[in-house]
Structure 1
């Protein structure tokens, strides 16, 4: 099917006819892979947290179909049900790609960040979030927004420290810097994050 309309998507979900469901799933897989590729192209520092295309696509399909009881596929059913929706051939793939980017970006950070170590480095700003912050949707939105505002070199260091969790020696080798330079960059990174999380200029 070249164009999926909201009505057609809901009809397939409600009808549960195997061939139509298979057709929908194949379309979703292709769109999810495209969304994943676009996300990693736009934010290459997230590559370190990716578990691979198959696992990532499975995460997206699980979220789209919401296989936890009851399996209501609420994300798929929301397609077209929002302000500003414009029907067309690109509407459904664009929707799925957008959902994919949001799901994967959240999951990359949720599963891999060393929250306790980061909380300790942030000090008072990080107070309490080592236990609750990564599960608090409001705090997560603020934190993800802060990460998005970091420059590329700070993102890279964040991934090495709190995602890959490399030791300082390994980071020095990776970046081609001495220990003092890495600690200086880390200090600047923490200061930037504190300011972003507290809304300071």
Structure 2
């Protein structure tokens, strides 16, 4: 069972660590306002990944291929939302950080994190599809520790991202944070364009 746990942990990290919209968003929350805002982004991302992994283990991955139009709809929704976040980040100004200090809410961070997590087809395919299939392929006695390992990977990685981002804040002036936000915006727009291209290719 210990081996199954660490196998799930390793596979989870392999899928979650590579840069993606979810990672960029969580890291950005930590750089922008630090803790506790970044922790709420961790909670949102961790809960969404946990839900998707559980759904994958329950066999929901079959729906991704069996429901007509589901994948194109996910691609459009993800592209639009990432475009919104990307443009918003590109328009950041130093004064915006003063305005944000007293206006953010836990609900706002959780909603935005959930949208980034659940409107991202690649994240869903990784968690529901790949991890779900890997869990169901395990022997019955090792499925639970394998799944717990995958969930642990998600939460651990997002905590590391948030802590690293929070630690960077002491070296970043408002002007430097503006440029970080703009770079994040460009990355999010690249992911949006990627989803848009995949949407077009579904009809080719």
Q: TM-score by structure 2 length?
A: 0.27
Higher relative contact order (CA 8 A, sep 6+): 2
Flag the structure with larger Rg: 1
- Which has the larger helix fraction? 2
